[in-house]
Structure 1
Amino acid sequence: MRLSLFICLFLLATVSLAQSPIHLIPQPVSVVPQAVGFTLTKTTAIVYSSPELATIAAGLSEQLTRPTGLTLAHRLAKSPAATAISLELIPTPDARLGREGYRLSSSAKGITISANNKAGIFYGVQSLVQLASPAMGKANQTIPGVQVVDYPRFAWRGVMFDVSRTFFPKSEVLRYIDELAQLKINTFHWHLADDNGWRIEIKSLPRLTSVGAWRVPRDGHFGERPDPKPGEPATYGGFYTQDDIREVVGYAQARNITIVPEIDVPGHSMAALAAYPNLSCSKDTSVRVNPGTQFSEWYADGTFKMLIDNTLNPADENVYVFLDKVFGEVASLFPGQYIHAGGDECYKGYWEKDPGCQALMKANNFGHMEDLQGYFMKRVEKIIQSKGKKLIGWDEIIESHDPNAQLSKDAAVMSWHGVKQGIDAAKMGYKVVMTPAPFTYIDYMQSDPTLEPRIYASLRLKTCYEFEPVPDGIDSTLILGGQGNLWSEQLSTFAHAEYMSFPRVWALSETFWTPKSRRSWAGFIPRLETQMRRAEAAGINYARAAYDPIVSTTNADGKLTLMLDCEIPDSEIYYSLDDTMPGRYSLRYTQPVLIPDGNVTLRTITYRNGQPSGRQITLKRDELVKRAKK
């Protein structure tokens, strides 16, 4: 009897070890491997328990075609079927799963995904698709045996996509939504209007798109481009018609994504003012949609000065008539509860000089310019509320000192400057989406500045992954969740947008979905590498920047010392200081290295499992000295 039991256990373990690893992103709440998985064949069917799951079943069939080469039939069935993939709504809801949770069971008898409603079924499907091997066209593929119980940590799991600075056509927006949905991202923050382009059709204000959607074409680094020339035609840009918007909204809804549209006011309004210059204090008719010139000066203390007026006039009633039209049409297109009204980086220098603004401040006994912005945002909130929506904005929207110029507690705050602003907002009783730039701005450089498109800050993959959205000492129920932000100043193609997004959005998706106790950087690495293979099979232009060497130096008592590191554990780092190309026969880094005097050049590269993994970094001695000073 004991021998038989031993043999059974041995065979069970052998089969289990033979399975493909269970590598899911985001990591589920519970994953229990089973001895035997389910083999997909051309006769496998997808059955679903309710007509409302038909679209999800069809989507699953399509998603499985790429890794398996199979096109699985799908049909309605009142109960799970043997040797099939069954999608089943739970007759008696499981309170622990909530709206978006699911259970997934894979065994030799078949695969079952069950949930309280179709949102959970959709997310169970995304996990199932990840369980399929990323190898293309692998028919008769076995899905690992597993029992998964899963539900999200946060209700708001978002990514912001800036289409103002760089316009992305509708087809690319739809592709990006697909890529986010597969990671269980459920909020798409669509940054539709800024200084560099107005991207949404407003039928009652046609100049917003006939003028505001177009700028003169420019290449080169954003913020350093030449000004428009007199009479130069504005040929770069584009916008989404209202029919386009409806199509994108419906596409996102089918993938359990809510779109939050953003119209950024009162600052960042140059595209709107190019179309309607009378809405600014300066009423400057020469303002054009900005093509990426330097139109502001930033100072070391974080303050700035606008060289061109890009701000709506809070003392002009025509501005509120304008915004009523804009937000009225926006509200009719987007069914979600929030409209984002921006509120960030509003330069108030033109307000300080404007007699109307000064009279308005005096009439309301405002003592600070922030109170005037508070007044403006409160007026905007009332407009948005009149359309049946709630206002959400960047953390500057609650900076007013005057209680009469503060928003209602129905408003929500996106904390972008840092974690502190989110803490302050929560302590004031506001709901908060945590999106602090040092952890979530995925437009920042993700590797060494010599390897990345130049921008003013860096954000490593590991930093994204280790972000904790709930600070200590605040009411966690006020933290709606978190969000990554992709600003597009330095993007020129959709492939580059993907490169900046992934794998950092993979990391953030786990930060927003997975219980804190289930997250670890070391545990993420093997799942990251599997996800990279999936991305390659899907044609997604992800970054391998986490494999690159990390170079730092110190300079003490005239001795320049080199330190090398890598985000990916178990990486081997090789280097040279003799002008030879580094490789696995070069010096291997094990401890800090004293850099010799003279005109030496560092070259360094990483290897993993005996193969080059990161890009080579080359730095001359003067650059190494500069890094020590920083």
Structure 2
Amino acid sequence: MENCLYSLSGFNFYFKGNILLLFLLLCGISLQSQIIPNPEVMNMNSESFMFDSKVGLVYKNLSKADRGFLIPYLKKSIEKESGIIVDTGKKQPKNIILEINTKSAREQNDESYQLYIDRTKIHLRANSYEGLFYATQSLLQYFTFYNTSIPVKLPGLTVYDKPAVNWRGMMLDVSRHFYSVEAIKRVLDLIAYYKLNVFHWHLTDNEGWRIQIKKYPKLTTIGAWRNEIPGSIFYKKDSSYTKPLAIEPYPYGGFYTQQQIKEVVKYARERGVMVIPEIDLPGHSAAALTAYPEYSCEGYRHPAPNSTLWNGKVDTDKVNFNYCPGKESSFIFIEDILTEVMELFPSRYIHIGGDEVDKQYWQRCDECQQRMHSERLKDENELQSYFLKRVTSFLEKNNRTVIGWDDILEGGAPESAIIMSWRGEKRAINGAKQNHHVIMSPSNPFYFNRYQDDSAKEPLAASYSINTLQRVYEYNIWPEQLDENGKGLIKGGQFAVWTEFISSLEHLEYMLLPRLPAFSENLWSLDQRKNYNDFIKRLNQGHYDVWKRSGIRFHPKYYNKSVY
């Protein structure tokens, strides 16, 4: 058995995954995984790698840019945990080897990786940089579990792993509450640790514009700020929970400079995460239209929205929420903005929102009605479709793909658009039946701004549903009503954090953990590898300890050291 597994160190990793899987099942010994998400195959051997002396860290086929981050990153992480010196200058008797297969063997979007440990080496191999980064995260999780004494002794093992879906994302709303660059990086560290690969950055909404656009400076000098009243709330249905404090409003807001945006995008890419910006339109645009009211239907300025508006009925005569599709200047304004956005974000995807458009503005707007007449549009849903198709056409000419919330199906979605389904499965099914790719982001259970427990001690949250850890873990992203072709259009899933009630990083972390690793394992692992009780056990095999040592807040309900 030992020889069989040891020979894997020279196994041709270019073979397809199912051949390697069969090999491991025949030769390996099953090992209970403490890694999250649960690897496809994890087998142990009789050897151990002992961190009792200097260890070498070497690489094969890594680009200068890739090794410029990954080598010092892994060196620092291991030295911090073990106290052992990791030498990146030359080979040692014991080595950690990072390897990306030769260019001819790489496969596009191949996120698989292999991790092999015996007494003289820790070998991490992949067909892509992303796969290699995931291998480092599995190694660090494994290391943490066995880092209970000095020297650290890692049992020998072989891991072969790959995700079930290629879209595993998180959306963070920074409009309702603003988070610093350092806070964003901390969130990126968390999602990368659990092998998520998409960070959807909700940068604009009614309550604040958060991205510097040089051609339109008032977007940030005016649109990034609002008058805030502590204790005020956003949802009328939750108004019984709190009352605004009787103090004067104060300015609240912030934005990211273009240099900061580039910094975050680079930080994410180094961790295998693609950053997708969302510029919400044609609705949810009150912050932009406070700064530039000439692109609204009314054409004159109203005060910037703030949380006090949501304590009761919103008077739509006092706020400009929508761009005016009747004005040609609206499209010039939006295209100018998106041109700068594309210069900052290399991702092929741009999210343009498209949700919750209050079309009564357009019903009473002469220019919108003229547009509908000239374009032979039968109603305001088709006017929305016209608006979104024009924006999509502009982005397509720049080699970008549009993503929109499932509301864009109303009136007819742009043909190439990807549907992000947030209102249950019905819209996802409709989108797939219209041959759109779909990303599953159902508010129930994938909105992490909602309660995760029914305890009265929970911090204030949107009360539409209780999205428990188990429901997040067990939700099936493939609607049963779809046939195999339809299911093939499901790109993956994404959870969202809307921040009406979440004003601090500590509160944000509390809402993320432990639901984040549950979501990760749901999308990474095939059904036969998922076991909720086993997942809870593995959470307690080092993961809570990592969060505690890092000062990260988490929901304590499932923290139980007795599960070892």
Smaller-chain TM-score bracket: 0.7 to 0.9
Question: Residue in 2 aligned with 1:279?
Answer: 295
Q: Do 1:464 and 1:507's aligned partners in 2 also have CA atoms closer than 8 Å?
A: yes
Q: Do 1:435 and 1:484's aligned partners in 2 also have CA atoms closer than 8 Å?
A: yes
Q: Which has the larger radius of gyration?
A: 1
Question: Residue in 2 aligned with 1:535?
Answer: 547
Q: Say which of 248, 253, 260 aligns to 2:269.
A: 253
Q: Do 2:228 and 2:308's aligned partners in 1 also have CA atoms closer than 8 Å?
A: no
Question: Residue in 1 aligned with 2:214?
Answer: 203
Residue 464 (1) aligns with residue 442 (2): no
Offset of residue 20 of structure 1: 10
Distance (whole Å) between structure 2 residues aligned to residue 535 and residue 541 of structure 1:
7
Offset of residue 504 of structure 1: 0.7
Deviations 1:77-132 (A, max 9, x none): 7xxx7521111223487789962111111122221111112221111000000001
Residue 64 (1) aligns with residue 94 (2): no
Question: Residue in 2 aligned with 1:142?
Answer: 153
Distance (whole Å) between structure 1 residues aligned to residue 317 and residue 441 of structure 2:
25
Distance 1:96 1:324, change over 3 A: closer
Q: Say which of 398, 402, 405 aligns to 1:394.
A: 405
Question: Residue in 1 aligned with 2:283?
Answer: 267
Distance (whole Å) between structure 1 residues aligned to residue 183 and residue 558 of structure 2:
26
Which amino acid is 1:241 matched to?
Answer: T
Q: Do 2:232 and 2:307's aligned partners in 1 also have CA atoms closer than 8 Å?
A: no
Which amino acid is 1:116 matched to?
Answer: N
Comparing 435-444 with 57-66, greater Cα deviation is found at 57-66
Distance 1:98 1:488, change over 3 A: closer
Distance (whole Å) between structure 2 residues aligned to residue 504 and residue 26 of structure 1:
12
Q: Do 1:227 and 1:291's aligned partners in 2 also have CA atoms closer than 8 Å?
A: no
Question: Residue in 1 aligned with 2:20?
Answer: none
Q: Secondary structure at the match of 2:47?
A: coil
Which amino acid is 1:415 matched to?
Answer: S
Which amino acid is 1:428 matched to?
Answer: Q
Q: Say which of 17, 22, 46 aligns to 1:35.
A: 46
Question: Residue in 2 aligned with 1:5?
Answer: none
Q: Do 1:97 and 1:115's aligned partners in 2 also have CA atoms closer than 8 Å?
A: no
Q: Say which of 126, 137, 158 aligns to 1:126.
A: 137
Q: Say which of 447, 462, 465 aligns to 2:453.
A: 447
Offset of residue 179 of structure 1: 1.1
Q: Secondary structure at the match of 2:46?
A: coil
Q: Do 2:230 and 2:245's aligned partners in 1 also have CA atoms closer than 8 Å?
A: no
Question: Residue in 2 aligned with 1:604?
Answer: none
Offset of residue 393 of structure 1: 0.8
Q: Say which of 490, 505, 530 aligns to 2:501.
A: 490
Q: Secondary structure at the match of 2:195?
A: coil
Distance 1:196 1:42, change over 3 A: farther
Distance (whole Å) between structure 2 residues aligned to residue 443 and residue 170 of structure 1:
20
Question: Residue in 1 aligned with 2:12?
Answer: none
Distance 1:609 1:252, change over 3 A: closer
Distance (whole Å) between structure 2 residues aligned to residue 241 and residue 265 of structure 1:
21
Q: Do 1:46 and 1:85's aligned partners in 2 also have CA atoms closer than 8 Å?
A: yes
Alignment of 1:121-520 (within 5 A): 121-133=132-144, 138-223=149-234, 235-294=251-310, 297=313, 308-400=319-411, 406-408=413-415, 410-454=416-460, 455-457=462-464, 458-472=466-480, 473-474=482-483, 475=485, 476-520=487-531
Which amino acid is 2:439 matched to?
Answer: V
Offset of residue 398 of structure 1: 1.7
Residue 24 (1) aligns with residue 35 (2): yes
Q: Secondary structure at the match of 2:144?
A: coil
Which amino acid is 2:547 matched to?
Answer: A
Distance 1:227 1:425, change over 3 A: farther
Q: Do 2:233 and 2:244's aligned partners in 1 also have CA atoms closer than 8 Å?
A: no
Q: Do 2:61 and 2:102's aligned partners in 1 also have CA atoms closer than 8 Å?
A: no
Which amino acid is 1:343 matched to?
Answer: G
Comparing 419-428 with 19-28, greater Cα deviation is found at 19-28
Question: Residue in 1 aligned with 2:95?
Answer: 84
Q: Do 2:107 and 2:127's aligned partners in 1 also have CA atoms closer than 8 Å?
A: no
Question: Residue in 2 aligned with 1:572?
Answer: none
Offset of residue 259 of structure 1: 0.3
Deviations 1:576-615 (A, max 9, x none): xxxxxxxxxxxxxxxxxxxxxxxxxxxxxxx9859xxxxx
Q: Secondary structure at the match of 1:397?
A: helix
Between the aligned residues of both structures, percent identity stands at 34
Distance (whole Å) between structure 2 residues aligned to residue 97 and residue 431 of structure 1:
19
Which amino acid is 1:288 matched to?
Answer: A
Distance (whole Å) between structure 2 residues aligned to residue 292 and residue 422 of structure 1:
34
Distance 1:182 1:609, change over 3 A: closer
Gaps of at least 5 residues in structure 2 are 1-27
Question: Residue in 1 aligned with 2:8?
Answer: none
Alignment of 1:101-120 (within 5 A): 101-120=112-131
Which amino acid is 1:512 matched to?
Answer: L
Distance (whole Å) between structure 2 residues aligned to residue 117 and residue 608 of structure 1:
37
Deviations 1:476-515 (A, max 9, x none): 3311111010111111110111110111111111112112
Distance (whole Å) between structure 2 residues aligned to residue 542 and residue 271 of structure 1:
33
Q: Do 1:227 and 1:293's aligned partners in 2 also have CA atoms closer than 8 Å?
A: no
Distance 1:486 1:75, change over 3 A: farther
Distance (whole Å) between structure 1 residues aligned to residue 350 and residue 561 of structure 2:
46
Distance 1:383 1:138, change over 3 A: farther
Offset of residue 233 of structure 1: 8.0
Larger helix proportion of the pair: 2
Offset of residue 51 of structure 1: 4.2
Distance 1:357 1:419, change over 3 A: same
Which amino acid is 2:425 matched to?
Answer: V
Distance (whole Å) between structure 2 residues aligned to residue 138 and residue 306 of structure 1:
66
Q: Do 1:296 and 1:306's aligned partners in 2 also have CA atoms closer than 8 Å?
A: no
Deviations 1:202-232 (A, max 9, x none): 0000000000111123211422676999xx8
Deviations 1:147-170 (A, max 9, x none): 100011111110011111111011
Distance (whole Å) between structure 2 residues aligned to residue 198 and residue 444 of structure 1:
24
Offset of residue 192 of structure 1: 0.3
Offset of residue 397 of structure 1: 1.1
Deviations 1:339-389 (A, max 9, x none): 100001111111111122122223333233211111111111112223331
Which amino acid is 1:486 matched to?
Answer: V
Q: Do 1:167 and 1:237's aligned partners in 2 also have CA atoms closer than 8 Å?
A: yes
Distance (whole Å) between structure 1 residues aligned to residue 557 and residue 103 of structure 2:
46
Q: Do 1:134 and 1:537's aligned partners in 2 also have CA atoms closer than 8 Å?
A: no
Q: Do 2:114 and 2:135's aligned partners in 1 also have CA atoms closer than 8 Å?
A: yes
Q: Secondary structure at the match of 1:311?
A: coil
Which amino acid is 1:294 matched to?
Answer: W
Q: Secondary structure at the match of 1:208?
A: helix
Deviations 1:328-348 (A, max 9, x none): 000011000011000011111
Q: Do 1:261 and 1:340's aligned partners in 2 also have CA atoms closer than 8 Å?
A: yes
Aligned residues: 521
TM-score normalised to structure 2 length:
0.86
Distance 1:86 1:431, change over 3 A: same
TM-score normalised to structure 1 length:
0.77
Deviations 1:294-331 (A, max 9, x none): 17759xxxxx9786331111111111011011100000
Q: Give the root-mean-square deviation of aligned CA atoms.
A: 2.8
Distance 1:447 1:507, change over 3 A: same
Which amino acid is 2:388 matched to?
Answer: M
